[in-house]
């Protein structure tokens, strides 16, 4: 077996700054992922402050999610090709500028444009984390680093509504929403300065080269865009008006797969080497699990924000505090779970999914039965259980999904994983929101019964993810057996055309 390439470009010694560098990149990744959910509690304030229509203000959330998902794979591939440090610096600079533009916007069209650009910057930024982890860490250290990255993904999504509510509570309902964006600027600038000092220059380059698969990038971009657009516009009737785009997405995806096979057969490097799915143990199942889980996990945040603020009349701060138990449980277990992956493996994911399903199922049961005056308190325990489980899902799944990915493809592999999570977020938000609003108009119990229906939809997604986790657990046991086999050639020589 050939030795893995040096993590610093010239020596096998570990970079002494690797943990500090990881802290910088994870902080930036946290900020980008936080902006997916933090804005949900600010939408009523934005609508009042800019005199915007509900359809317009929905683009503040959906536009960010759309361009975020659109640029993830390309961002990972660019990091692999031209250097993760360079891409990180470009992306964090763009994120700072677009955050400032969003906070200063005095018209909804300007805010939406800024959010589209901000999402694109976040999509370029996020995959650099997984690439840098592959470059800088080896062995058990890599597992711990991936655990920290997975914890960052889970915690950022869970605490977004809480931090959004706190910021609006501190700065006021009229202008507090601007500080949801402004707060990114000093953090991004400090991160930029620290990254210039700490990130190694020789990462993500070499065998991959500088040639980019532009045709593949265009086809994948069309496939992702036409799939996400109807979903992110679901609140404004997007599914009814734009359903035909799903057929366009399927066609573009088919053309993309055929093109990528053609590029690989010609001995060139494709945007996405399909052997990531066919030859990397656990990768395909891990991506599918993350996508399905995020349908339920991410979908609940908008539903809970609408339920508490519109249904029960909570303020943004009160709405954020109501979901704090989930955030706390997720934050604690995500860090612990990252350290347990080497011994527990996929069993951690299975256990976490069971707890999430039980917690959200209990919320569905309690919502129509508890008095509305004490509903947030009654839901605290089940949300804590769900949060404890959630912290044991994302972090271990990230580690287990990426553990066998070749370092030269770490960026694009992380980009695909994140794209799956963004697609899951879009699907879950559309489905759960439709379930909530549909049940409000038809159910006798009003908002509490509607919340129960939406939570049951989330439980269904989580149970589907549980089936995938159990399947992967069995596959891992088979691979570990003497007759299980292992694609060593793929791990040691990821060049197109090699076997």
SS3 state at 420: helix
- List the domain boundaries for the chain: 18-480
Distance, in Å, from the CA atom of 434 to the CA atom of 352, rounded to the nearest integer, reads 27
Both tokens of 131, joined, read 């690439």
Give me the pLDDT at residue 8, please. Answer: 44
d(CA 455, CA 459): 6
Report the candidate in 78, 104, 326 with the shortest Cα–Cα distance to residue 205. Answer: 78
> CB of 175 within 8 A of CB of 57?
no
Instruction: State the DSSP H helix or E strand holding residue 200, giving kind and residue range, or none if neither.
Output: none
Predicted pLDDT of residue 77? 81
Query: Which pLDDT score is estimated for 465?
Result: 95
What pLDDT does residue 118 have? 94
Q: Token pair for residue 290?
A: 């993350």
For the chain, the straight-line distance linking the first and the last C-alpha, in angstroms and rounded, comes to 13
Q: Answer yes or no: are the C-beta atoms of 211 and 19 closer than 8 Å.
A: no
Residues 453/436, Cβ–Cβ less than 8 Å: yes
User: How does DSSP classify residue 8?
Assistant: S
Q: Which pLDDT does position 362 carry in this prediction? A: 96
Cβ-contact 140, 315 below 8 angstroms: no
The DSSP string of 25-51 is HHHHHHHHHHHHHTTGGGHHHHHHHTT
User: Three-state secondary structure along 329-387?
Assistant: HHHHHHHHHHHHHHHHCHHHHHHHHHHHHHHHHHHHHHCCCCCHHHHHHHHHHHHHHHH
Task: Judge contact between 220 and 256, C-beta under 8 A.
Answer: yes
Q: What CATH class is the domain 18-480?
A: mainly alpha
C-alpha distances (whole Å) from 47 to each of 132, 429, 471 are 39, 20, 45
**Rounded Cα–Cα distance for residues 111 and 101 (Å):** 7
In this prediction, residue 204 carries a pLDDT of: 53
Among 162, 483, 433, 189, smallest CA distance to 318 is for: 162
Query: Mean pLDDT per segment of 10 residues, for the chain of length 499 residues?
Result: 42 74 86 79 82 79 81 83 87 94 92 92 86 78 75 73 81 83 91 89 53 80 85 73 89 91 82 81 91 88 85 82 85 80 87 96 92 88 93 86 78 83 84 85 77 94 95 81 50 41
Long-range contacts of 439-446 (CB under 8 A, 24+ apart): 440/311, 445/368, 446/311
Q: What is the pLDDT of residue 202?
A: 64
Identify whether the C-beta of residue 166 lies closer than 8 Å to the C-beta of residue 320: yes
Distance CA 202, CA 480 (A): 34
Q: Is 314 left (phi over 0), alpha (psi -120 to 50) or beta?
A: beta
């Amino acid at each position: 077996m050939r030795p893995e390439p040096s993590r610093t470009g010239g020596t096998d010694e570990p970079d002494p700054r690797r943990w500090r560098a990881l802290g910088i990149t994870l902080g930036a990744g946290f900020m980008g992922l936080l902006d997916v959910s933090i804005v949900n509690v600010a939408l009523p304030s934005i609508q009042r402050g800019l005199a915007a229509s509900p359809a317009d203000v929905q683009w503040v959330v959906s536009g960010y999610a759309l361009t975020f998902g659109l640029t993830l794979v390309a961002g990972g591939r660019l990091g692999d090709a031209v250097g993760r440090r360079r891409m990180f610096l470009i992306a964090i600079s763009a994120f700072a500028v677009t955050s400032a533009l969003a906070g200063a916007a005095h018209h909804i069209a300007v805010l939406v444009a800024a959010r589209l650009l901000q999402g694109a910057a976040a999509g370029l930024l996020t995959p650099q984390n997984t690439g840098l982890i592959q470059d800088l860490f080896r062995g058990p250290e890599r597992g711990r680093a991936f655990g920290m990255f997975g914890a960052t993904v889970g915690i950022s999504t869970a605490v977004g509504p809480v931090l959004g509510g706190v910021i609006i509570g501190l700065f006021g309902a009229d202008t507090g929403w601007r500080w949801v964006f402004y707060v990114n600027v000093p953090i991004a600038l400090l991160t930029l300065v620290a990254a210039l000092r700490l990130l190694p220059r020789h990462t993500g380059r070499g065998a991959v080269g500088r040639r980019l698969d532009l045709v593949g990038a265009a086809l994948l971009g069309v496939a992702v865009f036409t799939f996400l657009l109807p979903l992110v516009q679901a609140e404004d009737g997007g599914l009814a008006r734009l359903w035909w785009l799903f057929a366009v997405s399927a066609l573009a995806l088919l053309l993309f797969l055929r093109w990528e096979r053609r590029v690989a057969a010609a001995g060139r490097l494709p945007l996405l080497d399909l052997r990531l799915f066919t030859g990397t143990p656990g990768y395909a199942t891990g991506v599918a699990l993350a996508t399905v889980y995020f349908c339920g996990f991410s979908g609940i945040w908008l539903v809970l924000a609408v339920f508490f603020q519109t249904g029960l009349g909570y303020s943004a701060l009160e709405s954020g505090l109501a979901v704090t138990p989930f955030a706390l449980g997720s934050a604690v277990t995500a860090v612990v779970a990252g350290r347990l992956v080497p011994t527990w493996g996929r069993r951690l994911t299975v256990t976490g999914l069971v707890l999430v399903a039980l917690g959200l199922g209990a919320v569905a049961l309690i919502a129509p039965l508890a008095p509305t005056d004490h509903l947030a308190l009654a839901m605290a325990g089940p949300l804590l259980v769900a949060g404890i489980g959630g912290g044991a899902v994302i972090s271990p799944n990230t580690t287990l999904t990426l553990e066998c990915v070749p370092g030269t493809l770490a960026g694009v592999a992380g980009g695909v994983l994140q794209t799956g999570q963004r697609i899951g977020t879009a699907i879950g938000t559309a489905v759960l929101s439709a379930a909530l609003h549909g049940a409000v108009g038809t159910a006798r119990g009003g908002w509490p019964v509607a919340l129960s229906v939406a939570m049951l939809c989330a439980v269904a997604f989580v149970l589907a993810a549980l089936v995938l986790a159990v399947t992967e657990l069995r596959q891992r046991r088979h691979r570990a057996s003497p007759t299980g086999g292992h694609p060593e050639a793929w791990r040691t020589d990821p060049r197109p055309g090699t076997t």
